Chains A and B, each alone.
Chain A
């Protein structure tokens, strides 16, 4: 009997439940999709190291899932309380009819049960479909080849979802029971009769608070952008965050008092159509929801920053690999280790006497000693020499500007030896890499660098045309700023400086290492993996105590290690971003709908005095629109500075690809946030619709 009543209740109030149901389904399907990610990778051709990464990623996502389940749990409890409120009168009638509170709790229990089961079934169904789409993204992320497309279903993720959400529903049931047992009949029956008291804020006070908030906010914006360099500690970021959050609250607080005043003074606008009504609706609502609007605004801000930053990271990392890892393999071999100027240093680094003594052989020769003939795997290769000297450190290069730079950046390592290469060697590299080559006179030098903050530092000295003394020559800078270029492969622009000099300048006594870079004669991934694993096997060779094994980097290893970071960050960012967005949009939608019964009365009055249906719909649309837009607008303004800050932090990774990721974020925002807005609008429209 009770379950029948519950079923009927759900059917009857399905309109009110739309948003709740929609949120549950979305939450469940997203939860499933991200927990089922590992099964999506099963159909891909991935290396062992990637398998390891996937395991790590799943562990991370598992941890994030716990956090997400808390957010969703709160959201669901919040939503169900909203729905309870809407039905106060219904419960009141049950109570007056003599139904016990226990029975009402049972009705609610059955309702939650039905909704829970239904949402799990639909949500998991949707999640399974979405996760097939996700496969494509996953394949793209790992830059893997899709071996064959198979329909996958992760039973472990499914079970996990069911368990997590069952626990959430259990909490909902407990909360419902508590609130039913605490409620009073008089409040249930007459809860909606309370006349609303509008507290008007003092305009002057509002203006002052508004101006102060704007000033504090601008200060916070300044700190995270232009004032970025004054930040010494990671903790310092908390100050602008606090300033931003508090000023956000007070901006909404003062705006709630001001907006109406401003528009009221615009008589022509205010007394046009239903404008006065809409504005009053809005201001009466924002008055009571300043706090939640602030929370939603901040959540949206985090979402926008999270999504655009992690998508940027992904894009720029991939771009970076293409750009900064142009060849298949690069080997670096330390030479000349027993030279007097760094013999002691090498000993202190833990190299043994034999390794130091046997360091006058180039890469190819050394690998031959290890019985590994590298050249037979290579289609093309070059060899270059790198020089270093204790007489040319960053101290020397910065010249007369050293002191002023040191006060600005006290933490730079000024006694690092500069990396030196001859122009002909560098041009060999540049040709192989497909980057710019240079021409140099005997008395000139060029600094190649692309790590932004280092570039800026070095440019100070170059602008001042600092000369350097090297192996008895005095060289002047050819350009007064750093040039693009690099020697060592990486995934991003991290070249902090290479000094290019004329061939005749270098002194062979200061040879530091030699390098080999080249491309394999195969493009087959499996073969490449085999070559690289046999290179790695050298580490187990018994003669490694006598000969120092060359260091190697390969495009494949850079790609895989980069992926490990980007994929993880991207997925976690996506996961959290989408959940945050759903939560904030759902709260807004629920708030709007929970007031629709009040609104229903108001719109009925409007109809009675003969307002056009079109005008009423427009007023409703605007009312909900403003409510959704207000936190979004401030969140977007916050995000502009937030992203600027993120760009500075992520500068290392290169952030040229910001626009596409912002567009992607925009698409997410439009679909999810816009979707909630439309659903809210149509649900409210349905609720205020007059039934004839």
Chain B
């Protein structure tokens, strides 16, 4: 299958020569088209740094990242912005919805900055709203929505541009368990529709919805497990096993 994301021997160093911190240490990772991958790790393991360099918010110290064949470590300035708005979709822990705009306008913004016509915007929003079950809240403002609703609106904004890759940073971090479950089911649904999702989390329950979980420790891949034909419950148990193996480092995940 085609590789959407190809991370090749990347390294990310912080600090000066005298006191060097390796946030990512020679890490390689491939994500295929239509995959739903979760990245797990304790605080400071480098998972957020990985997401930041993939999302071009941060730069790698060395190595290459290819998204759909383009080496994004070589992009600069407005090419970066263009890449970000056309190839990537973002879902953040704190939703990052604009509080002055309604849900509809928040979603529309992702398209209007790509100069999509108002008519097509409307069409595409209707479709995505149906998929994510947010039709009834389209005219509401963020402060009128629950956390789960906000995150689904943010998800709609992330996928409406048909990005090659959807990046989710602790999407359930600010949600109660019921909303989290509902959102993750939607993620599964999107995945079935063909979206490629890379999700960072430290929550085993959240990770268990993914098809593959990559564990990171000290900037390196510690272990990878595939869901295969397991049920979500069985996969969850497998994840917990690895977390236990990781010991205290990930105990905050439970």
Assess A615 versus B109: contact at CB under 8 Å? Given A276-B101, A280-B100: no
> For residue B232, which residues in chain A have a CB less than 8 angstroms away from its CB?
none
> For residue B99, which residues in chain A have a CB less than 8 angstroms away from its CB?
195-196, 602
> For residue B122, which residues in chain A have a CB less than 8 angstroms away from its CB?
267
Q: Are B143 and A273 in contact (CB under 8 A)?
A: no
Interface string of A587-622 (1 = CB under 8 A from B): 000000000000000100111111111110000000
> For residue B112, which residues in chain A have a CB less than 8 angstroms away from its CB?
271-276
> For residue A97, which residues in chain B have a CB less than 8 angstroms away from its CB?
none
Q: Are A277 and B101 in contact (CB under 8 A)?
A: yes
Interface string of A245-279 (1 = CB under 8 A from B): 00000000000000000000001101111111100
Interface string of A399-432 (1 = CB under 8 A from B): 0000000000000000000000000000000000
A330 to B254, CA, bound (A): 106
Q: Are A610 and B85 in contact (CB under 8 A)?
A: yes
Check: A457 CB closer than 8 A to any chain B CB: no
Can you name 29 A-B pairs with beta carbons within 8 Å? A195-B143, A198-B100, A267-B122, A271-B112, A271-B118, A271-B121, A273-B113, A276-B105, A276-B109, A277-B101, A280-B98, A280-B101, A281-B100, A284-B100, A602-B100, A605-B97, A605-B98, A606-B109, A607-B81, A608-B90, A608-B96, A609-B90, A609-B113, A610-B84, A610-B85, A610-B86, A610-B88, A610-B113, A611-B81
A272 to B121, CA, bound (A): 10
Check: A379 CB closer than 8 A to any chain B CB: no
A678 to B85, CA, bound (A): 30
Q: Are B98 and A277 in contact (CB under 8 A)?
A: yes
A281 to B98, CA, bound (A): 10
Interface size of A as a range = 20 to 34
Closest partner residue, chain B, to A598 (CB atom):
B99
Kindly identify, within residues 98 to 140 of chain B, every residue whose CB is under 8 Å from any CB belonging to chain A.
98-101, 105, 108-113, 115, 117-119, 121-122
Check: B78 CB closer than 8 A to any chain A CB: yes
Minimum distance in angstroms from B112 CB to a CB of chain A: 5
> For residue B84, which residues in chain A have a CB less than 8 angstroms away from its CB?
608-610
Check: B152 CB closer than 8 A to any chain A CB: no
Listed residue (A195, A196, A281, A605) with the most chain B CB atoms within 10 angstroms of its CB: A605
A606 to B110, CA, bound (A): 9
A276 to B121, CA, bound (A): 13
Assess A611 versus B98: contact at CB under 8 Å? Given A196-B143, A267-B118, A276-B108: no
Interface of A is mostly: helix
Q: Are B113 and A615 in contact (CB under 8 A)?
A: yes
> For residue B111, which residues in chain A have a CB less than 8 angstroms away from its CB?
271
Check: B82 CB closer than 8 A to any chain A CB: yes
Q: Are B100 and A612 in contact (CB under 8 A)?
A: no
State the A residues within 8 Å of B (CB). Answer: 195-198, 267-268, 270-277, 280-281, 284, 602, 605-615
> For residue B141, which residues in chain A have a CB less than 8 angstroms away from its CB?
198
Q: Are B101 and A609 in contact (CB under 8 A)?
A: no
Interface size of B as a range = 35 or more
> For residue B81, which residues in chain A have a CB less than 8 angstroms away from its CB?
607, 610-613
> For residue B121, which residues in chain A have a CB less than 8 angstroms away from its CB?
271
Assess A613 versus B118: contact at CB under 8 Å? Given A271-B108, A605-B96: no
A196 to B115, CA, bound (A): 29
Minimum distance in angstroms from B56 CB to a CB of chain A: 9
> For residue B108, which residues in chain A have a CB less than 8 angstroms away from its CB?
271, 276
Assess A196 versus B100: contact at CB under 8 Å? Given A608-B57, A610-B85: yes
> For residue A270, which residues in chain B have a CB less than 8 angstroms away from its CB?
118
> For residue A272, which residues in chain B have a CB less than 8 angstroms away from its CB?
112, 115, 118
A612 to B141, CA, bound (A): 25
Closest partner residue, chain A, to B158 (CB atom):
A609
Assess A268 versus B118: contact at CB under 8 Å? Given A276-B112, A612-B81: yes
> For residue B157, which residues in chain A have a CB less than 8 angstroms away from its CB?
609
Minimum distance in angstroms from B124 CB to a CB of chain A: 11
Known: A273-B112, A281-B100, A610-B113. 10 other contacts (CB 8 A): A195-B143, A196-B99, A196-B100, A274-B109, A280-B98, A605-B98, A609-B110, A610-B82, A610-B83, A614-B78
Check: B187 CB closer than 8 A to any chain A CB: no
> For residue A274, which residues in chain B have a CB less than 8 angstroms away from its CB?
109, 112-113
Minimum distance in angstroms from B107 CB to a CB of chain A: 11
A509 to B78, CA, bound (A): 96
Listed residue (B100, B111, B143) with the most chain A CB atoms within 10 angstroms of its CB: B100
Closest partner residue, chain A, to B77 (CB atom):
A613
Check: B92 CB closer than 8 A to any chain A CB: yes
Minimum distance in angstroms from B49 CB to a CB of chain A: 14
Assess A611 versus B113: contact at CB under 8 Å? Given A271-B118, A276-B108: yes
